[in-house]
Amino acid sequence: MQIDAQKDESSAAYADTASKARKVFVKTYGCQMNVYDSERMADALASDGYRVTDNPEDADLLLLNTCHIREKAAEKVYSELGRIRQLKEARAANGEDLMVGVAGCVAQAEGQEIIRRAPVVDLVIGPQTYHRLPEALARARGGEKVVETDYAIEDKFEHLPRPEKEVIAARGVTAFLTVQEGCDKFCTFCVVPYTRGSEVSRPVGQIVREAENLVSAGVREITLLGQNVNAWHGAGPDGREWGLGELLRRLSDIDGLERLRYTTSHPRDMDDALIAAHRDLEKLMPYLHLPVQAGSDSVLKAMNRRHTAQDYLRLVDRIRAARPDIALSGDFIVGFPGESDADFEATLQLVEKVRYAQAFSFKYSPRPGTPGAERDDQVPEDVKSKRLDRLQALLRKHQSEFADSCIGTEIDLLLEKPGRLAGQLIGRSPWLQPVIVDANPSQIGEIIRVRITRAGANALFADKIQGESGSSTI
């Protein structure tokens, strides 16, 4: 699971026009799965008469969709609730009501404790019960403090309403689609198996229907999501259990769907069929987020990662043999309990060998209830900070070398949204880098052929290649 959502921490991506409707402001923290969930919550609330607003001052309901992966993420929620309390008091002074809900992983992990610590909250709702949001809100409006964090017996995906075509279109030409939730891996640093529960895979038919609905509303690129997406194994229409490689093949048959991606993968679950999909499917973009976390075998073992550094490097070789231009990205944790200087050097060596195109790196943060937090050989903060600085300098160097290596290449670019300057549009390269090009807003949703001319700090710049429209190859 990648923590920096591709779609920014923000309100859900479409705004209200009908002034009479009740309005909800959704603030999303954390990973792409939360971005997807915020949209699903907005869909559930739409059937209850709510429209999304991007202005909290304007809202009748504030929903925080929270993340629990590291300490800071949860603390951010409590400080936001402090600010919301002032807003709610100001509203109450005007005789107006403001409902406040906390959803997501902090809701699941802390439940009732949130209401104890922040009485401003009316409703706490966990990720498995979003389809019950209208009913839970009705109870909260009646004065009850609602905590709805059980794992629902029914499948929420069967009960969540389908968004209208205009709503999908307003969200853009790229979309997330959750295919798998939960995790059975129990890495010893990670809270996900406790907050999101055990692995559940959605069946093929449900996923294909959702993808077709997105495409018919103008979506051109879909990113399949799962906490451990390559462990997905859903029931196929033929009664067999399918794997992710087979699902990607089926989705790439959808006319009008031009690009596919998926995230986040565990190295242990990269099977041959999935690697072959990277070799065979033009629509599957050459980018893979494959977290390794650390480069020392003893740390990997203590993390319960179930692979060695050698296993990971061999896997990378097999993936690159199947798709030589694939860009790899990863997650790293420095300062896991017991990590020595030599262990940390092994992480740097692994990074040198793989040369990631992009990466996310974090200081270890003990999460209550996980085995790592119980250990008495925690690494001091200042050591973690120094290690993180060194690792990030190396990762940044590789990332910018990769960006420089793109200069002069011709690529197909899916135009996604307006850039910061008038006349500019932003798209993503096949390797997920933002690319800025001069183009007309009417071209959003088109794939055009461009040449990369320059690499900036956070984006590539490109020129259109006149007279050529994009094809589905790179």
Residues of this chain that interact with ligand 5AD (CB under 6 A) are 1, 3, 69-70, 189-190, 291, 293, 331, 333, 362, 364-365, 367
Min separation Cβ 14 and ligand SF4, Å? 29
Angle among Cα 419, 424, 427 to the nearest 5 degrees reads 65
Nearest to ligand 5AD of 306, 449 (CB atom):
306
Long-range Cβ contact pairs of 41-44 (< 8 A, separation 24 or more):
41/12, 41/65, 41/103, 41/130, 41/133, 42/12, 42/14, 42/163, 42/167, 43/160, 43/161, 43/162, 43/163, 43/167, 44/130, 44/131, 44/133, 44/134, 44/160, 44/161
Q: Does residue 227 interact with ligand SF4 by CB under 6 A?
A: yes
- For the CA atoms of 321, 322, 323, 324, the dihedral, rounded to the nearest 10 degrees, stands at 20
Nearest to ligand SF4 of 185, 454 (CB atom):
185
* Stretch binding ligand SF4 (CB under 6 A), from 58-66, 170-178, 190-198, 278-286: 190-198
Min separation Cβ 113 and ligand 5AD, Å? 19
Min separation Cβ 127 and ligand 5AD, Å? 16
Here the tokens at position 36 are 């997807």
Q: Does residue 193 interact with ligand SF4 by CB under 6 A?
A: yes
Q: Which does 128 bind (CB under 5 to 8 A by kind): ligand SF4, ligand 5AD, none?
A: none
Q: Does residue 185 interact with ligand SF4 by CB under 6 A?
A: yes
Count the neighbouring beta carbons within 10 Å of the beta carbon of residue 73.
Answer: 18
* Interaction residues for ligand SF4, span 326-365 (CB under 6 A): none
Q: Which does 70 bind (CB under 5 to 8 A by kind): ligand SF4, ligand 5AD, none?
A: ligand 5AD
Min separation Cβ 104 and ligand 5AD, Å? 14
* Stretch binding ligand SF4 (CB under 6 A), from 107-115, 138-146, 184-192, 278-286: 184-192
Residue 168 backbone phi and psi in degrees, to 5 = -60, -45
* Strand spans (E) along 134-251: 146-148, 174-178, 180-181, 200-201, 221-225
At which residue do the structure tokens 């300098």 appear? Answer: 393
Min separation Cβ 81 and ligand 5AD, Å? 22
What is the Cα–Cα distance from 91 to 89, expressed in whole angstroms? 5
Q: Which does 126 bind (CB under 5 to 8 A by kind): ligand 5AD, ligand SF4, none?
A: none
- How many residues make up the chain in this entry? 474
Min separation Cβ 343 and ligand 5AD, Å? 16
Find out whether 348 and 309 touch, Cβ atoms under 8 Å. Answer: no
Min separation Cβ 19 and ligand 5AD, Å? 40
- As beta bridge partners, residue 139 has none
Min separation Cβ 227 and ligand 5AD, Å? 9
User: Burial level of 60, CB count in 10 A (0-12/13-18/19+)?
Assistant: middle
Site string for ligand SF4, 295-324 (x = CB under 6 A): ------------------------------
Nearest to ligand SF4 of 85, 233 (CB atom):
233
Find out whether 285 and 328 touch, Cβ atoms under 8 Å. Answer: no
Q: Which does 185 bind (CB under 5 to 8 A by kind): ligand 5AD, ligand SF4, none?
A: ligand SF4
Q: Which does 266 bind (CB under 5 to 8 A by kind): ligand 5AD, ligand SF4, none?
A: ligand SF4
- As beta bridge partners, residue 235 has 241
Nearest to ligand 5AD of 218, 291 (CB atom):
291
Q: Does residue 183 interact with ligand SF4 by CB under 6 A?
A: yes
Q: Does residue 186 interact with ligand SF4 by CB under 6 A?
A: yes
Residue 354 backbone phi and psi in degrees, to 5 = -85, -40
Q: Does residue 367 interact with ligand SF4 by CB under 6 A?
A: no
Distance from chain centroid for Cα 397: 24
* Interaction residues for ligand SF4, span 232-271 (CB under 6 A): 266
Q: Which does 365 bind (CB under 5 to 8 A by kind): ligand 5AD, ligand SF4, none?
A: ligand 5AD
Q: Which does 88 bind (CB under 5 to 8 A by kind): ligand SF4, ligand 5AD, none?
A: none
Strands 424-428 and 358-363: unpaired
Min separation Cβ 187 and ligand SF4, Å? 3
Nearest to ligand SF4 of 182, 234 (CB atom):
182
Min separation Cβ 229 and ligand 5AD, Å? 12
Q: Which residues contact residue 30 at a Cβ distance below 8 angstroms, ignoring those fewer than 6 apart?
A: 3, 5, 65, 66, 67, 69, 73, 104, 105
What is the Cα–Cα distance from 27 to 13, expressed in whole angstroms? 11
* Strand spans (E) along 168-263: 174-178, 180-181, 200-201, 221-225, 259-263
Distances (CA, A) of 109 to 67, 191, 195, 439, 473: 10, 9, 6, 46, 44
Q: Which does 250 bind (CB under 5 to 8 A by kind): ligand SF4, ligand 5AD, none?
A: none
State the number of binding residues for ligand SF4 (CB under 6 A).
11
Count the neighbouring beta carbons within 10 Å of the beta carbon of residue 57.
Answer: 10
Binding residues for ligand SF4 (CB under 6 A): 1, 183, 185-187, 190, 192-193, 227-228, 266
